[in-house]
Amino acid sequence: MSAEPLLAVRDLRVGFATEGGPLQAVDGVSFDLAAGEVLAIVGESGAGKSVAAQTIMGLSRSRNARIEGSVKLHGDELIDADDAVLRRLRGEQVAMIFQDPMTSFNPVYRVGAQIVEAIRAHRADVSKSEARARAVALLDSVGIPEAARRVDDYPHEFSGGMRQRAMIAMALALEPEVLIADEPTTALDVTIQAQILRLLGSLNRERGLATILITHDLGVVAEVADRVLVMYAGKVVEQGTLDEIFYDPQHPYTWGLLGSLTRLDRPRPKRLPQISGAPPSLLDLPQGCSFRPRCPHEFSKCPRTPPLEARLADAPDHRDRCWLTPEQKREKRQVGGQIGLEAPSA
Amino acid sequence: MRRFLANRVAMAFLGLFVLIVLFVLAAPLWANHVAHTGPNQTHTLEKLTIGGESRDVVNVEGQPIGPVWLDAGGKFFLGADSRLGRDEMVRLMYGGRTSLLIGVVAALITSFLAVILGLLAGYYRGWVDGLVSRALDVLWSIPVFMLGLALGISLAVGGLKLGPIEVSGGSLWIPILVIGVVSVPYMARPIRGQVLSLGEKEFVEAALAQGAGSLRVMFAELLPNLGSTIIVFFTLNIANNMLFEAGLSFLGAGVQSPNSSWGTMISTGVELLNTSPVLAIAPGAMILLVALSLNIVGDGLRDALDPRAKVRLEARTGTVEPEGTAV
Amino acid sequence: MARFILKRLAGTVAVLFAVSVVVFAVFNVIPNSPPAQRLAGKNANPRLVKSIEEEWGFDKPLPQQYLTMMKKTFNGELTSYEPRIPVDEQILEGIPATASLCIGAAVIWLFFGILFGYLAAVRAGGLLDRLLTGVAVAGISIPVFLLAPVLIYFLSYEIELFPSGGYVPLSEDPAQWAYHLILPWFTVAVLSIGFYSRVLRSNMLDAMDEDHVRTARAKGLGERQVMVRHVLRNSLIPIITLFGLDVGALIGGTAIITEKLFDINGVGAYAAGAVANSELPPIMGVTLYAAFFVVFFNALVDIAYAYLDPRVRLGTAAQ
């Protein structure tokens, strides 16, 4: 008997009314997050990853947004929940950290004060000094040296990596069960990236903190993820365990992503491999499968209907959206001896 | 541009402004064919025939006649302006010409100087910027109105002589120059700021790398990018200038007699406020309408030319069609 | 921080010096007529003109003229010539009235400006916003010399709700003091309420898009808390600096027209009278006095800004 997933997202759809017309940012996304699991959401800019994540916490609600589907945390529906319910949930059960720690902190308040604010917003009975002590302990636990002194510093007095650690500390202040990290390392130096990822990894292991890690970098995924969700143009085009995605990828887009990774253990390719073309504008999606224009394996079925979700017989949690059969996929994904994607023929 | 045209409120007020301009341009027509009098002609001892009755233009106590409207065929439509018995309506139209003229010409001078200074300071930076900025700061430090008063009064008495330029004290050029120069910091600073930030952009470096000289860069590359800022500020500047001129003239440091403007008219009108309120309120209302129209049009232009403002408003309100005067 | 303050005050002195040179130039150098003639006023006789010439040293070189003028100003010897009253005495006498008018109006406009701007921003795009924006635009377009006469005519003459002017010192009768100042306060405040509410609205709309606001929501702060502590607080900084500058300028005597129309014997009215009689020494004095206040408040504002925005204080932010 499988345990009830911590977070269950079913057929999530988020659309916006814009000056250029209606736009579907998230188009039927479904996935589960188990307790203590690290789920990586991968995709290029505009794939809908951030919007989907923010919708979980209700942060994408606005007058020109249309949100449908189901998001259940511990079985409680969040999509149509009251603002008051969501407010309590944010920080206490689900926390989020963002890409740029410099702009994510308010520059005119001290870092410690901002952490204290987060604590007292949920626990009004905690005194200021208690909250402050907790803030110091939090900063210390994420590896910030001299936490007792630095708690009174302003955000711009921290270095990039330290700021991101402070953000993580603030996110953990109320001991949430789920941490959503939206491109937490993208704005940081490569060496600092590794540190932050290690921190996230250890938090996951030591506290059983379920994590949704959003990134466009598969290298980051390989470091920490248990399961992977690949998104393209608002849809989930493939999802599975880390091994399944890296060793048995089913979707051409995934092949392209994997093929464009530069690998130290392989000979250097003659040309830097990449997926040709660019992601489509969400205002003007191709008919049928959205990935069509960039896919060399397109055939007659592709333009007619958007692919339905298929699952592998022996791995029911490994799903993808592509009309090719598993045998065709296994054959076509081999390019020059490894997994990759060629350019489509003109 | 399209967005601006679709902004109904701004277009309405632009229409109003145009109407007012036509109104003052029609002054000679009205004066010659309807009122049969000029703006400075006095009619103190005359009588007016209204509906068979004969009434004094200025009665024995020195009280001018109130608005006659069309009862005398258009003469003294708004009544007489003071003991001098001049036609208020005719004066309103002619005075408007002066006010508008000063407002627009001063704005042209301000824009011209502000663009030059802003370009120089923002482009050359260094000591040029230091000098220009300090100078603007000093000018900025003296409350604009006091400075205008000081200059206005000094120059009104003796006129101006700066090298080859010689202007007499009573000329309209005095208020025009005073207002034009004093308003420069207001416009030069934002332009300088924009030039500074534009200068960081690649296209400037590219132009320089291609061997373009400084002048070329300033005028061919930077200036076009300033276009929208200049237009918006120019529009708003006209409104400010007219308010400024009215204030100066009201106190006596602006337009000097025999010239008159809406500001001078308010000054004489205020003395008769309790008995003939229309004399002060009419010119004041005209200034209000012009200032209001130009402010709304300027805002509309700013909205139309600033893509960010529109997008932001949309995301918040969910409206997709262009709307209102927003910021 | 102390070093910053010292530097700023030193800058103030430098600017004041430059301002005095400009004032000197405006009065004595630029115009085309003999300075002594202008100083003497409209009805001067030749003997008066001659004595002024000697007193001020107009036959001497310019730098010396400047020094003479400065000396006279600081020694309180600046007098108007008709009637013969020292300028500085008149200015000091006028300060209480001007201060009452300006500070009262300033408090009112700051309060309403922030209130309206906040409401307009929080309900952006809605009916309230459009209404407040309309009011604001009207406010900045109504000239004082239209508003004051209209108010006086309707609220004071037709319906005798308010007095038409005059000033009652606070020490004499606080109730009357306030009663007489209500219409003038409103007149002065209207323009600034319009301006400030628009600036705040604009700043807040910009601030709402910032990342740290998103973080605040993600932390679980209530909407009101987010708006006030994170959006408003960050948007107020430019408002406070503007406010300081405006109050400085206002105390400097730019409420001239209001003072004249409402018959308030402040510094502004003094200047207005001088303008009407073409008396230059009072105008010179008031201009210097006004500039002093503006420059001084400028420095105060810079210091306040450094306090409010820690990035500036620690010297790392670009302005």
Residue whose tokens read 């365990």: A241
CA A99 to the chain's CA centroid? 11
Instruction: Label the pairing between strands B160-162 and B165-167.
Output: antiparallel
Q: Is C280 at the interface with chain B, CB within 8 A?
A: yes
Q: Is A18 on the interface with B (CB under 8 A)?
A: yes
Task: Characterize the bridge pairing of strands A21-33 and A38-42.
Answer: unpaired
Interface contact flag, B150 C26, Cβ < 8 Å? yes
Burial (CB count <10 Å: 0-12, 13-18, 19+), residue A280: middle
Nearest CA-CA partner of B138 in C302, C14, C9, C306: C14
Q: Token pair for residue C154?
A: 């309707």
Closest chain B residue to C281, measured at CA = B150
- Whether chain B has a CB inside 8 Å of the CB on A129: the answer is no
Calculate what percentage of chain A has a pLDDT beyond 90. Answer: 38
Q: How far is CA C187 from CA B280, C99, C140, C144, in A?
A: 16, 15, 11, 7
The answer to whether residue A29 scores a pLDDT higher than 60 is yes
CB-CB: which of C211, C308, C316 is closest to A104? C211
State residue A132's pLDDT score: 93
Give chain C positions within 8 Å (CB) of A93.
none
Residue C224 carries which side chain, given as an amino acid letter?
Answer: R
Distance from CA of B178 to the nearest CA of C (A): 11
Question: What digits encode the pLDDT tens for the residues C5-53?
Answer: 787 778 778 777 887 777 777 776 666 566 666 666 556 677 777 777 7
Q: Minimal CA–CA distance to A207: which of A219, A217, A199?
A: A199
* Cβ contact, residue pair A64, B310, below 8 Å: no
pLDDT, average across residues A139-155 = 91
> What mean pLDDT is predicted for residues A284-307?
87
Burial of C275 (0-12, 13-18, 19+ CB in 10 A): buried
Phi, psi of A339 (to 5 degrees): -75, 130
Euclidean distance between the first and final Cα of chain B, in Å?
Answer: 17
pTM equals 0.77
> What span, in angstroms and rounded, lies between the C-alpha atoms of A87 and A110?
23
* 3-state percent helix, strand, coil for chain A, nearest multiple of 5: 35, 25, 40
Interface mutation vs chain B, best among A64, A66, A283, most B CBs within 10 Å: A64
Chain B residues within 8 A of A64 when measuring between CB atoms: 314-315, 317-320
Strand extents, DSSP E, C7-163: none
Compare CB distances from C19 to B138, B250, B281 and report the shortest one's residue: B138
Compute the distance between CA of residue B5 and CA of residue B322 in angstroms, rounded to an integer: 10
Contacts of B319 in chain A (CB under 8 A): 64
Three-class SS string for B116-140?
HHHHHHHHHCHHHHHHHHHHHHHHH
Residue B314 has a pLDDT of: 47
Angle at A16 between CA A10 and CA A17, to 5 degrees: 150
Low-confidence residues in chain C, pLDDT < 50: 316-319
Nearest chain A residue to C221 by CA: give it. A121
Grouping H, G, I as helix, E, B as strand and the rest as coil, residue A17 is strand
Contact B47, B39 (CB under 8 A): no
How far is it, in rounded angstroms, from Cα B221 to Cα B202?
11
Please indicate whether, in this complex, the C-beta atoms of C218 and A83 are within 8 angstroms of each other.
no
Residues of chain B falling short of pLDDT 50: 310, 312-327
pLDDT value of residue C99: 83
* Spatial separation of the C-alpha atoms in residues B130 and C72, rounded to whole Å: 32
pLDDT at B127: 81
d(CA B42, CA B33): 18
Higher-confidence residue of A35 and A313: namely A35
**A342 pLDDT exceeds 50?**
yes
- Which runs of consecutive H residues, i.e. helices, occur in chain B? 2-6, 8-25, 27-29, 88-124, 126-141, 144-158, 173-182, 184-199, 202-209, 214-216, 223-251, 262-271, 278-305, 307-317
Give every CB contact of residue A86 below 8 A, 6+ residues apart in sequence. A57, A58, A78
Distance between B303 CA and the closest CA of chain A, angstroms: 15
Flag whether residue A262 sits within 8 Å of chain B, measured between CB atoms: no
Q: C27 Cβ partners below 8 Å, 6+ apart? A: B150, B154, C35, C38, C280, C284
The better pLDDT of the pair B153, A296 is held by A296
C43 bridge partner residues: none
**Structure confidence at residue C137 (pLDDT):** 84
Distance from CA of C308 to the nearest CA of B (A): 23
Cβ–Cβ below 8 Å for B295 and C260: no
Q: What is the DSSP string of C249-282?
A: HIIIIITHHHHHHTT--SHHHHHHHHHHTT-HHH
Q: Tell me, what's the pLDDT at A346?
A: 54
Amino acid in the structure at residue C160:
E
The predicted pLDDT at position B316 comes to 46
Cross-chain residue pair C225–A121, CB shorter than 8 Å? yes
CB contact under 8 A, C219 and A170: yes
Separation CA C136–CA C112 (nearest Å): 11
DSSP state letter for B276: -
Per the CB < 8 A criterion, the answer to whether B122 and C231 are in contact is no
pLDDT class of A180 with cuts at 50, 70, 90? very high
Partner B contacted by C295 (CB < 8 A): yes
Cβ–Cβ below 8 Å for C214 and A95: no
| B48-90 per-position pLDDT tens digit | 777 677 777 777 777 777 777 777 777 777 777 777 778 888 8
Q: How far is Cα A198 from Cα A208, in angstroms, rounded to an integer?
A: 15
Query: Taking a C-beta distance cutoff of 8 angstroms, is the pair B109, B180 a contact?
Result: yes
